Structure 1
């Protein structure tokens, strides 16, 4: 059965997007990455937050604009939303977290469901549905924006370090 993975790039101060969801900060750091290259074939489906789905794209202005991983991955996407959206090929809009996770896991088979979006990842963690987290820090300090995990007043969440079977780098 598929596992839920929150895989993301973040600034060293813990932001996955700049103010207003700006992703342009990431553009200079895109390119070959052995960790991402090994991860992509292990992803069977995406579970995406609505703001992430309709948000800024670090591949803006390139042939990879609007495509997952800049066109490096193709497959089923499940967008968690309560706002209607125009139909899109390969995209299913779901308004219930448990249902979205179940549909994405079924579509992913024995691969990962990669969670995209800080809020949907937090919801998965709070519901006990998140299996793994892969943080890929980028050498920049943003100072403001969308935190990779934000739960004001929340308590620490203890995590266990694991090395996935697909991870061969390092």
Structure 2
């Protein structure tokens, strides 16, 4: 059975993108990461929000621009959107319902991970009780503004249990299990 994982690079002050969805801040922190290299072959499907799918690519200008994990991942991708594009990208399935998209991604993933990309989709997974794990790659930078890792007006506590901490030269990885009550 597939597990749902939210993996994301994060600034020390809690942002996954900069102002106006800027992802170029991440470029100096892209590079070899043994934990990510080990993870990518264990991903069976992506579950992505439309803003993330259409947004700024930290690999802009690179040969693998537009490809998940800088070209490291090649598999099914499910984008949650109420407005599918007129010219869909090959290999991407656009689904207008979160629940249906998650079910399709889990089925496609088999016994591998469904990797969540995008704060809104991660939040929906949390609210549905479907998020199993979180992998945060802390980059040594502060952005001051942008999209938060998790925002819930009025607050919401999501308890996590640390699984591992892995420092690298570019970022520090923290892997957690989501504690479900």
TM-score, shorter chain, exceeding 0.5:
yes
Match of 1:17 in 2: 17
* Aligned-pair CA distance for 1:96: 1.0
Distance 2:156 2:70 in 1: 35
Tell me if 1:47 matches 2:38: no
For 2:162, what is the secondary structure of its paired residue? Answer: coil
* Aligned-pair CA distance for 1:159: 1.7
CA offsets, 1:28-58, max 9 Å, x none? 1111111111111110100000000000000
CA-based RMSD: 1.1
Match of 1:124 in 2: 125
**How do residues 10-159 of structure 1 correspond to structure 2 at under 5 angstroms?**
10-85=10-85, 86-159=87-160
Distance 1:154 1:54 in 2: 28
Match of 1:167 in 2: none
Larger deviation: 36-45 or 153-162? 153-162
Distance 2:148 2:134 in 1: 15
Distance 1:158 1:69 in 2: 27
* Aligned-pair CA distance for 1:109: 0.8
* Aligned-pair CA distance for 1:84: 2.0
Q: TM-score normalized by structure 2?
A: 0.88
Match of 1:168 in 2: none
Query: Whose strand proportion is higher, 1 or 2?
Result: 2
* Aligned-pair CA distance for 1:155: 2.4
Match of 1:160 in 2: 161
Runs of 4+ in 1 over 4 A off after TM superposition: none
Distance 1:103 1:40 in 2: 19
Distance 2:129 2:35 in 1: 26
Distance 2:47 2:106 in 1: 9
Match of 2:171 in 1: none
